[in-house]
Amino acid sequence: MAREQLTFTGAIGEQLAARLDVPDSGTPDAYVMFAHCFTGSKDVLAAVRIAKALWLRNFAVFRFDFTGLGDSEGDFANTTFSSNIDDLVAASNYLRETREAPAVLIGHSLGGAAVLAAASQIPEARAICTIGAPADPEHVAHHFDHARDEIEEAGEAEVSIGGRAFKIKRSFLDDIAGQRQKENIRKLGKALLIFHSPIDETVGLENARQIYEAASHPKSFICLDEADHLLTGREDAHYVAEVIAAWAARYIGESA
């Protein structure tokens, strides 16, 4: 595996850390971009395992840390869902200029909501996959319901997410409240594959139903039996990669 540690300029001018895994053949079937979960990184287990499994199936996989997370520069407190979308577009532009634009977009949790919103700005992307994604980005607000009054009154508050402290500003809440995600999904115009676990306690299964109903065909739903939200089971991540590889093959050979 050719592993490249890269940096590119994100939406608000910070240098974002990325990794590109290129198959040994040197000629991948397609480039894939993976968007990680809320407050996660490119190195969470699900991203690492799915990327490796896709690499074994001759895909080049690009994953990066959103602004202010992982190894990327910037202050997470100054980011919004809209800036995440812009980071995805910046990442695809970087790939287009230096290698090849991504034909497949994969997003995990809030990263899934982000790829649904960004897809229309990445014309070469023809196959979109979500894993445990919320139907509306405002879903993540439940992480800081207890601090909402403080955020509204003081403009910001420190909250704990997954055992880590993050500063959330009112601008983040205003941004997710103003998204028109149902319209983004309805106008997607690309093949969509939705993965979701029926026992997901972080993002309930009803979100998958709402995404599926809002989208036009071609669209597919895959139930991840017994999987947790973070897809920590090795066998679950490998299964997702196997299905994506087989499913995407129908679309990646088409002209954009």
Decide if 129 is inside a domain.
yes
> If DSSP states are collapsed to H, E and C, what string results for 207-232?
HHHHHHHHCCCCEEEEECCCCCCCCC
Work out the average pLDDT over 120-142: 95
Supply the pLDDT for residue 211: 98
Q: What is the pLDDT of residues 227-241, one digit of tens each?
A: 999 999 999 999 999
Give Cα 7 distance to the centre of its chain: 18
Average pLDDT over residues 249-254: 80
The mean pLDDT of 242-251, rounded to a whole number, is 94
Can you give the residue range of the structural domain that contains 210?
2-141+180-248
All residues at 6 or more sequence positions from 113 whose CB lies less than 8 Å from its CB, including other chains: 81, 107, 130, 133, 134, 135, 136, 137, 139, 181
Q: Taking 50 as the threshold, does the pLDDT of residue 153 lie above it? A: yes
Q: The tokens 């115009």 sit on which residue? A: 189
**89 occurs within a structural domain:** yes
Instruction: Kindly state whether residue 156 falls inside one of the protein's structural domains.
Output: no
Going by C-alpha positions, the residue among 184, 48, 31, 187 that lies closest to residue 115 is: 184
**Cα-flanking dihedrals φ and ψ of residue 242, to 5°?**
-60, -45
Read off the tokens for 214: 């809002």
Which pLDDT value is given to residue 255?
A: 41
Q: Is residue 19 part of a domain?
A: yes
- Buried/exposed 141-169: b ≥16 CB within 10 Å, e otherwise: bebbeebbebbeeeebbebeeeeeebebb
Sheet holding 31-35, edge to edge: 2-9, 15-22, 60-64, 31-35, 104-108, 127-131, 191-196, 219-223
Alpha-carbon span 241 to 236, nearest angstrom:
9
| 256 pLDDT more than 60 | no
Q: Is residue 150 a part of any domain in this protein?
A: no
The answer to whether 48 and 23 are in contact (CB under 8 A) is: no
pTM: 0.95
Q: Tell me the one-letter amino acid at 156.
A: E
**Considering the domain boundaries, does residue 162 fall inside one?**
no
Q: What is the pLDDT of residues 162-192, one digit of tens each?
A: 778 889 999 999 999 999 999 999 999 999 9
**Distance between CA atoms of 253 and 149, rounded to whole angstroms?**
50
Please write the tens of the pLDDT for every residue from 202-227: 999 999 999 999 999 999 999 999 99
Assigned domain for 8 exists: yes
DSSP category for residue 14: P
Please give the tally of structural domains in the chain: 1
* CATH assignment at residue 223: 3.40.50.1820
Establish if 30 belongs to a structural domain: yes
For the chain, the first-to-last Cα distance in angstroms comes to: 28
